[in-house]
Chains A and B, each alone.
Chain A
Amino acid sequence: MMTNTMNFNLVDTLYDAETIAIEKMRDGAGKGVAELGAQKDDVVVLGADTMGSSRAKYFAEQFPERTVQVGVAEQNLIGVTAGFAYYGKVPYAFTYAPFLIGRPWEPIRTTLCYPNNHAVLVASHAGLATGPDGPTHQMTEDIALTRCLPNMTVLCPADFEQARKAVKAAYDLEGPVYVRTAREGTEAFTTEDTPFEVGKAQVLREGSDLTAIGNGYMVYRLLQAAEQLKDELSIEVINLHTIKPFDNETVIRSAEKTGKVFTAEDHNVVGGMGSAVAEVLGHHRPVPLQRHGVLDRFAESGSSKDLWKKYNLDTESVIDAIRGFVTHAATL
């Protein structure tokens, strides 16, 4: 199988960070669900007083008769979502990640995961990309909390178009699905023609010295890092948009090829995507590995840009971390 970037129909100006379009993943998810609503009568959208900012509004404006507003009551949001699923609807519940996953985690476990109810949880406002609202709203534990739940599918689209595709793909899955997006606008580097298959990691750029695995908007930063480091390192970049079910095959094959794995995510390094990679490789193909992300701490208020810089999630920090890791790995 060819795995160069051409197959993925990424934007033409992929590496031109100055001109690449910036779009919000939450808009992609919201618009995707609205488009789905036009095709599928059984889709219902539920919101918890964040219809606007979570982007449930696109569906709500078009299909008010299939929109449910539960108010500021996230436990009830999940319970009602389960009720709609038990009845036979395909409910999509929207709100910010800390309120969607953190607050009602046990109802998610009991009413969605245990009975394997087909419902889709769509989070805006995940990670430090939430910005000025501060640590209460910057959810960096949601992947850890969802990927440990039996029956749950965990999707972390990489940009606007992928978020749009992910919410639509979720419709055809079984059981509960979590779709993680972000508040801040980020590089829109995939296109309508970029394929998206749940559970199938995407080798967006081939390389031989290092495997760099990202999810969410960090994937683009890895592509930039690979491009900027191309004269010193050949980096394979993988978009691990599906954390669960985990694509063992793609990740193991790449680790075998490069012998070193670096992961990058806007999430706590404890329990996140990097941990999932470490679990799989630790068992199947132990190689030097570095998990880059939020270092088990609460951040602070600030613009996303300032937070990315201070907490080492911007491209420059990623490049520094990769260089440091490669140097360290050489001593092992």
Chain B
Amino acid sequence: MSLTDEQTQELEHKANEIRQDLIEMLVASGSGHSAGPLGMADIFTALYFNVLKHDPQNPTWSERDRLILSNGHIVPIRYVTMHHAGYDITKEELGTLRKIGSRIEGHPSYREIPALETSSGPLGEGLSQAAGIAHAAQMDGREHDFHVWCLTSDGEHEEGMTWEAIMYAAKYRLNNLTVIIDRNNIQIDGVTEDIMPLEPLRRKYESFNWAVLEMNGHDMAEITATLEEAKSIQQSPVCIIANTTPGKGVDFMEQDYKWHGVPPDKEQAAAALKQLRSLGERIEVADDD
């Protein structure tokens, strides 16, 4: 079911708000990753506000879709999105990111917030866990009760464990599992194709017997349509290569790997918020048309 123009604009608007809260969160923390979370804001928004079967009031609902975040360092975008979606994370709490005593840990902690589904941070481990959950559901004949989504970075496809899990999911035909790759082409030390070339990524997954889809990770209509298509594919697990722009929405962060692991300072945050607000106004203008 494709989005109406109005739904698309609502989602775009929500993603813009989430990006602004993210910038405020990072500057308050003085620590954290900027590029990846900004680049994944649209996909997180689409998931929590359109695609996921979930209930923020009942985060342990047994039929909820499982959203497994493998590249845990982009979790700030998840905290903000969950806050907006109505989970038990307050605006004030967002300001405690990475601070002592906070549940809002630098990397996701299941112990603190079970609605995060898993703890993660060390790269390359999420797909194995997502596959285990999907397999357990199949074992119980519950593969249609919920879908398992695994968000991964492109860089963590340098980890051997990721490919162990890719083989495994294909072997057991885990068609209730979709992996989304944040193909933003950057990692801490530089550009992925310089650090360790991943291409041809699509052909690699295909040769491991997965179905592969690609999407523009900033086009709401395309995101939601591609995610729905992934759920409908029955013969194998599905990989979605999401082409994204790291730092999306803030021009001086876009495409610059140096923003992978650092937050903006106050001045930079003010500039970023100004850009995002102006972008938000443009969406609203479009709304009025």
Contacts and interface: CB of A to CB of B under 8 A. Distances in A.
The finding on whether chains A and B are genuine partners in a shared complex, rather than unrelated, reads yes
B169 to A, nearest CB: 10
A79 B165 contact: yes
Contacts of A70: 164, 168
B50 interface: no
Contacts of B160: 75
A73 B122 CA distance: 17
Interface residues of B, number: 31
A13 B184 CA distance: 69
A106 B121 CA distance: 11
Contacts of A76: 128, 131, 161, 164-165, 168
B118 to A, nearest CB: 6
Q: Which of B117, B129, B131 has the most CB of A within 10 A?
A: B129
B161 A116 contact: no
A111 B125 contact: yes
A109 to B, nearest CB: 8
B156 to A, nearest CB: 12
Contacts of B164: 70-71, 73, 75-76
Given A80-B129, A82-B128, A88 B161 contact: no
A84 B125 contact: no
A44 B138 CA distance: 13
B133 interface: yes
Contacts of A115: 109-111, 118-119
Interface in A56-84: 65-66, 68, 70-71, 73, 75-76, 78-84
Contacts of B117: 86
Given A79-B132, A80-B132, A110 B120 contact: yes
B168 A84 contact: no
Given A73-B167, A86-B117, A87-B136, A114 B111 contact: yes
Nearest to A113: B119
A80 B167 contact: no
Given A73-B167, A76-B161, A76-B165, A88 B132 contact: no
A89 interface: yes
Contacts of A73: 161, 164, 167-168
A86 B129 contact: yes
Q: Which of A44, A65, A83, A115 has the most CB of B within 10 A?
A: A83
Interface in B168-187: 168, 171
A88 B109 contact: no
B213 interface: no
Nearest to A66: B139
A259 interface: no
Contacts of B121: 110
B206 to A, nearest CB: 20
B119 A84 contact: no
B135 interface: yes
A111 B165 contact: no
Contacts of A44: 136, 139
Nearest to B137: A87
Contacts of A89: 136, 139
A106 B161 CA distance: 12
A94 to B, nearest CB: 16
Nearest to A79: B128
A155 B132 CA distance: 25
A107 interface: yes
Contacts of B135: 68, 80, 83-84
Nearest to A70: B168
A240 B121 CA distance: 35
Given A76-B161, A110-B125, A114-B111, A81 B132 contact: yes
A87 B133 contact: yes
Nearest to B116: A115
A83 B168 contact: no
A73 B135 CA distance: 17
B130 interface: yes
Given A71-B167, A110-B119, 10 more contacts: A66-B139, A73-B168, A75-B160, A75-B161, A79-B131, A84-B133, A86-B118, A86-B129, A86-B133, A111-B119
28 contacts: A66-B139, A71-B168, A75-B124, A75-B164, A76-B164, A79-B125, A79-B127, A79-B128, A79-B161, A80-B128, A80-B132, A82-B118, A83-B129, A83-B136, A84-B132, A84-B136, A86-B117, A86-B118, A86-B129, A86-B132, A87-B136, A89-B136, A91-B132, A107-B125, A111-B129, A114-B109, A115-B111, A116-B111
Interface of B: 109-111, 117-122, 124-137, 139, 160-161, 164-165, 167-168, 171
Q: Which 6 A-B pairs have the closest CB atoms?
A: A83-B132, A79-B128, A76-B164, A87-B136, A73-B164, A80-B132
